[in-house]
Amino acid sequence: MGSETYSQVGKAQPQIDALAKATGQAKYTADFNLPRMLVGKLLGSPHPHARVLSVDASKAIALKGVKAVVTGRDVLGKKYGMFKSRRDETGLALKARYVGDPVAAVAAVDEETALEALDLISIEYDVLPAVFDPEEAMKEGAPQLHDEYERNVVADTHYDFGDADAGFKESDHIREDHFFMQPNSHGCMEPRGVLVDYDITGKFTMWTSTQSPFHVRRDTSRALGIPLSKVRIIKPHVGGGFGGKIETHPMHIAAALLAMKTARPVQIILSREEEISITRIRAAMQIHVKTGVRKDGAIMAQYVKIIADSGAYSSTSIMMMYNAGLSCMIPYRIPNFKYDGYQVYTNKAVSGPFRGHGANQPRFAVESQLDMIAEDINMDPAALRLRNASQTGDTTISGLNFVSCELSRAIEESTKKAEWDKKRGRKETNRGIGMACGGFVCGARGAGHTASGTNIHVNEDGGVTVLSGASDIGQGCNSMMAQITAEELGIPVSDVTVIAADTETTPIDPGTFSSRVTFYSGNATLIAARQVKSQLAEIAATLMEASADDILFRDKKVFVKGSPDRFIPFGELVKRAEGFGHGRLIIGQGQWAPTNTQFPDRKTKWGNVSGSYSFSTQIAEVEVDRETGQVKVLDVTIGDDCGQVINPMSVEGQAEGSVYMGIGHAFLEQTIFGDNGQMMNPSFLDFKMATPLECAPATMVEVGKPDPIGPYGAKEIGEGLLITSVPAIVNAIYDAVGVRIKELPVTPEKILDALEKKETEGKS
């Protein structure tokens, strides 16, 4: 069924909360204000590694307006974290592991008083040796951050599929190269925040900027030692997440403790400095890649080794390092693959999930090296990628099964649109064109709960309420669910209300990460909507003396196929259905997770971790000023296989956002650390991000076909595009001026140094 047969799916529509956001009516965590509410603030360690010996808060408590102080001694010491096997945080630290690690918190009547109170808290520290480089941290005798992890290695992941050694022996050409991708901040416009209310029954209600309310509920329950049923998490509007707001943060635990201690609501809103320096950043990675090919460009073997900087805590370390290796095997057919991945603790800010989650770094390295190999063997980079592109029906050597894949078409259509053959190799113009390909999961299979659920209630006036645990963080999943519901029931999107991400009232959901929401929650919503439709169709069939299979829903009308003039208004049918027989409620319930996935075998790592996979090609055209080293991205062309598009407007927004974020990653964004591990640029003044002046027009060529598993055939588009942006730009720079940048970010200084070195070598 093509999109032309749909009334809602495939049609560009504004997000259902667009008007509220545009008019300022959308409420974020900082906008909530409860009676008697106190302001909370966190106190961070000034040392990168130190034990807290004693805390004297007497002066702070004596300050007028201060209502409570809590420290690491007020928490139970029960460790929490994303994964059961890597729990290493307690909320407030008794042993600080990076500069800014929260060790205490205060609650006061206003922000000014709370900040003054922080200065009055006296803490005695036992300062410990610190380590800031992951390779140094792995050495014998290095300072140990967590006793459980030998040589500070928190994630140690290895793949060995096929026979890499044999594959290299069969290769006609082998390259080995080393790359580095820098750490950077998510740059969310809304800093993280939390508001906690504690009532007389011992129940916490928490409003917080999060991508995963149910994860926060679980960790808060564990850290405080209280039942899940005594913790309610509500997600308001969220001003951007990009992976950084999945996890529980010390502010959640501190605010809950302060609310319990004062019996008053407590709100903590992080400052911009705190948002950048004490939450999560993208992991810096050293990536070593060895690839062997035949003369015709066929990849015979690949070896990838990654050392990632975890920072002070584990976060999503095991998943990140698994993804880093997994992503290498998605876009291309690789018969022999070996991978060694190490994520290592250091006394720096914590690395965590960030859009692409471990795939960005190796994709930059692999796609850069493929261009280098293409030049080595005198082959067009696009032809090299076409030679190795994954295809529909492929099963990789690691067990990934591609039920749909249009990567070859993405390469062909995007190169045609971008005029690849005409524009490539024009170094005399200082203009270049480069490409990169990638693939991504549509929700990776986790070890625990993974299904999504949706409940749909039909009101007696014909309005419909959708309840979902999924978290809309600006990407538009509420709109997606409304659109699917409206499509099935033949009503306008304006008649659908979505209530989402409230652990007390909505179905459980793992959260917004791993590009899973449209795939999982979309299918759950589709099931629930079809249940509602089936119930109403049975009643309509009785009233209209027809078969239920012949009842159609369209334009707020319910009619018999072939007789659109003989109809019952949708609202009237609902009212009549509720009183039909002994009376009934019109409710649909859907829960869904793919049945074609397996959690990877713990020893072999074999397993199909996603129900389907997206694929993309990105082509960047740049101009380089040889005198200044400045680079301008002129144009970006995207060939994307995201299956059936639900909402073209949202898809375009995701695509443009990926391009703009990629430009920032390539040229500007880098968190910088001083000699003692303190972040030196935790502000938008010093942490540079791309503005409209740096961004380029992006043209999207949609090449996908409906996926057999996704809702209406839809697949992900949120993260898969971003991982190709940086390598496409770097490859274009090489095409323009013939210098290869292997260490990000690309700066004018690096380009000028490389050009000077090239010129010197050319004269010698």
Give the tens place of pLDDT for each residue, 662-719.
999 999 999 999 999 999 999 999 999 999 999 999 999 999 999 999 999 999 998 9
- 112's CB contacts (< 8 A; 6+ apart) are none
**CA-CA distance, 194 to 428, in Å (whole number)?**
55
Give percent helix, percent strand, percent coil of the chain, each to the nearest 5.
Answer: 30, 25, 40
Please report which confidence band the pLDDT of residue 4 belongs to, taking 50, 70 and 90 as the band edges: low
Q: Tell me which amino acid residue 80 is.
A: Y
* Residue 560 near residue 546 (C-beta atoms within 8 A): yes
Dump the DSSP string for 376-430: HTT--HHHHHHHHB--TT-B-TT--B-S---HHHHHHHHHHHTTHHHHTT-GGGT
Question: 3-25+451-592: what fold?
Answer: Aldehyde Oxidoreductase; domain 4 (3.30.365)
CA dihedral 56, 60, 62, 64 (to 10 degrees): -170
**CA-CA distance, 409 to 342, in Å (whole number)?**
35
Give the tens place of pLDDT for each residue, 308-351.
999 999 999 999 999 999 999 999 999 999 999 999 999 999 99
Q: What is the pLDDT of residue 580?
A: 82
- 538's CB contacts (< 8 A; 6+ apart) are 548
Residue 410, pLDDT > 80, answer yes
Please report which confidence band the pLDDT of residue 764 belongs to, taking 50, 70 and 90 as the band edges: confident
- Measured from the Cβ of residue 693, the count of other Cβ atoms closer than 10 Å reads 6
* Residue 668 near residue 185 (C-beta atoms within 8 A): no
**How many H helices and E strands in the chain?**
19, 26
Rounded mean pLDDT, 552-581: 94
* Residue 510 near residue 212 (C-beta atoms within 8 A): yes
Residue with tokens 């697949």: 715
**CA-CA distance, 22 to 109, in Å (whole number)?**
32
Residue 3, pLDDT > 90, answer no
* Residue 16 near residue 493 (C-beta atoms within 8 A): yes
Dump the DSSP string for 75-93: S----B-SSGGG--B-SS-
Residue 70, pLDDT > 90, answer yes
Residue 762, pLDDT > 90, answer no
Residue 8, pLDDT > 50, answer yes
Dump the DSSP string for 650-676: HHHHHHHHHHHHHHHHHHT----B-TT
Give the tens place of pLDDT for each residue, 483-530.
999 999 999 999 999 999 999 999 999 999 999 999 999 999 999 999
Q: Which two tokens stand for residue 690?
A: 């791309």
**CA-CA distance, 558 to 697, in Å (whole number)?**
44
Q: What is the DSSP letter of 269?
A: E
- Reported CATH class of domain 285-445+600-763: alpha beta
Q: Tell me which amino acid residue 244 is.
A: G
Examine residue 711 and say whether the peptide bond preceding it is cis (omega within 30 degrees of 0): no
Residue with tokens 């800031």: 132
**CA-CA distance, 599 to 357, in Å (whole number)?**
18
Rounded mean pLDDT, 550-570: 96
Give domain limits for the chain. Answer: 3-25+451-592, 32-128+192-240+245-277, 285-445+600-763
Residue 2, pLDDT > 60, answer no
Rounded mean pLDDT, 55-63: 98
* Residue 555 near residue 572 (C-beta atoms within 8 A): no
Q: What is the DSSP letter of 495?
A: G
Please report which confidence band the pLDDT of residue 650 belongs to, taking 50, 70 and 90 as the band edges: very high
- Measured from the Cβ of residue 378, the count of other Cβ atoms closer than 10 Å reads 7
Q: Tell me which amino acid residue 346 is.
A: T
* Residue 142 near residue 152 (C-beta atoms within 8 A): yes
Question: 32-128+192-240+245-277: what fold?
Answer: Aldehyde Oxidoreductase; domain 3 (3.90.1170)
Please report which confidence band the pLDDT of residue 558 belongs to, taking 50, 70 and 90 as the band edges: very high
Q: What is the pLDDT of residue 1?
A: 42
**3-25+451-592 shares its CATH topology with 285-445+600-763:** yes
Residue 176, pLDDT > 80, answer yes
pTM more than 0.95: yes
* Residue 269 near residue 191 (C-beta atoms within 8 A): yes
The alpha carbon of 642 is separated from its chain's Cα centroid by a whole number of angstroms, namely 16
